[in-house]
Structure 1
Amino acid sequence: MNKSLLAYIHPHASISEQYRTIRNNIHYASSGSKVRSLLVTSPSEGEGKSTTTVNLAVCMAQRGDRVLIIDANFRNPIINKIFNVQTSPGLSNILGQQLEFREAIYHTEVEGLDILPSGQRLYNSTELLDSQLMVDVMAFAYEHYDIVLLDCPPVLGAPDTNALASKCDGVLLIVKSGATQQEHALEAKRTLLFAKANILGVILNKKSV
């Protein structure tokens, strides 16, 4: 099992408790309204957004929610590696109308947690993520899951994240202590707000995480 799945491997560890606290705080940050979709991103690469995504998803599934992780990072997909499945079929195959939604879903060993890998790399990814097809993907996901988490590319590295920001109920921005430059964090926040994102909070990762 991949060591990134901390909340599943070590559910009683302090780091797992911190993820559960973040899970609960998402509800408070949304002013009591139900969050059905959550976009997770960071200013740059290597700041821990995918690790945060999978561990939040595990904690939500442990609470009894039906959870789906969508890997929307076509340039550098990570979710399939964490769960040891193929990259394709996945989201790009659905957006390319090559197969149905349910045909690209993988069930994980975490009860209640499914994943939708990225699929093959798309060169018109921004346009497809900003299309009615993506709206339809989200609508289908809402019918079958309590919450959907999207693991997205870094804000400053690709326009894909901005295309999805307004389609989600909330956004989490991940920054890394000792790594993320302050000006990059501020620029990422401005970019997300310009894209009409509802930023629920910023998560500070320790350098060792």
Structure 2
Amino acid sequence: MVRERQKASKTYVNRSLLAYINPHGSISEQYRTIRNNIHYASNGSKIQSLLVTSPSEGEGKSTTTVNLAVCMAQRGDRVLIIDANFRNPIINKIFQVQTSPGLSNVLGQQLEIREAIYNTEVEGLDILPSGQRLYNSTELLDSQLMIDVMQYASEQYDMVLLDCPPVLGVPDTNALVGKCDGVLLLLQSGKTQQEQAIEAKRALMFAKANILGVILNQKSV
């Protein structure tokens, strides 16, 4: 069973969950376009898990992850967001739940995954927070335990979105690339340097990522 439904903070929802607050707005339409383009980019392959990352912090990848998840849930999909960013978790703040228990507790075999999943007020959308910070996070994310987490999530949900750390500087994201059907790389206009974008793409390709597309974010919120 999942934990009781949590109510998100109204102030934060207005800043982050635009597709939920204003589903008919132009920004929501852009997220729906991205949602549909993911299907087209798959070339007929089934895409059930997506990793979202960026070259560096502060480029808006968590905002993109949650709004994309909302649009998928609005389509009728059962969606799970996994916060795999142990160093700077954001998903729990957006939905106003505790950081722990979460993914790290599951990987540490302290509890079952179903005991760490939270409902949100968005129908069809659940979240798995990051849990407490781990110093051996890369090893655990690259373990059989994480494969088991992804298998369980794929059996219970139509789509699983992983909000991951920036691909440059830490090895955690590349440890997860092979466990997802596709990768979205987020760049922020006016912030992401061309060299960073190229280096991030190179790092993902080195890890044999299936890069479905690059999202250019106009503003990080």
TM-score where L is the length of structure 1 = 0.99
Counterpart contact for 1:37–1:168, Cα < 8 Å: yes
Shift of 1:34: 1.6
Shift of 1:32: 1.8
For 2:151 and 2:85, how far apart are their aligned partners in 1?
Answer: 20
Counterpart contact for 2:83–2:91, Cα < 8 Å: yes
Letter in 2 for 1:125: S
Letter in 2 for 1:198: N
Unaligned runs of 5+ in 1: none
Structure 2 partner of 1:22: 34
Counterpart contact for 2:165–2:172, Cα < 8 Å: yes
CA spacing shift, 1:208–1:39, aligned 2, 3 Å: closer
Structure 2 partner of 1:8: 20
From 36, 47, 57, the counterpart of 2:59: 47
From 87, 97, 102, the counterpart of 1:75: 87
Unaligned runs of 5+ in 2: 1-9
Moved over 3 A (4+): none
Give identity over the alignment, percent: 86
Counterpart contact for 1:179–1:207, Cα < 8 Å: no
For 1:161 and 1:208, how far apart are their aligned partners in 2?
Answer: 20
Counterpart contact for 1:152–1:161, Cα < 8 Å: yes
Counterpart contact for 2:80–2:127, Cα < 8 Å: yes
From 199, 203, 207, the counterpart of 1:187: 199
Deviates more, 1:199-208 or 1:152-161: 199-208
TM-score where L is the length of structure 2 = 0.93
From 151, 162, 167, the counterpart of 2:163: 151
From 20, 41, 47, the counterpart of 1:35: 47
Structure 2 partner of 1:124: 136
Shift of 1:207: 3.3
Letter in 2 for 1:60: M
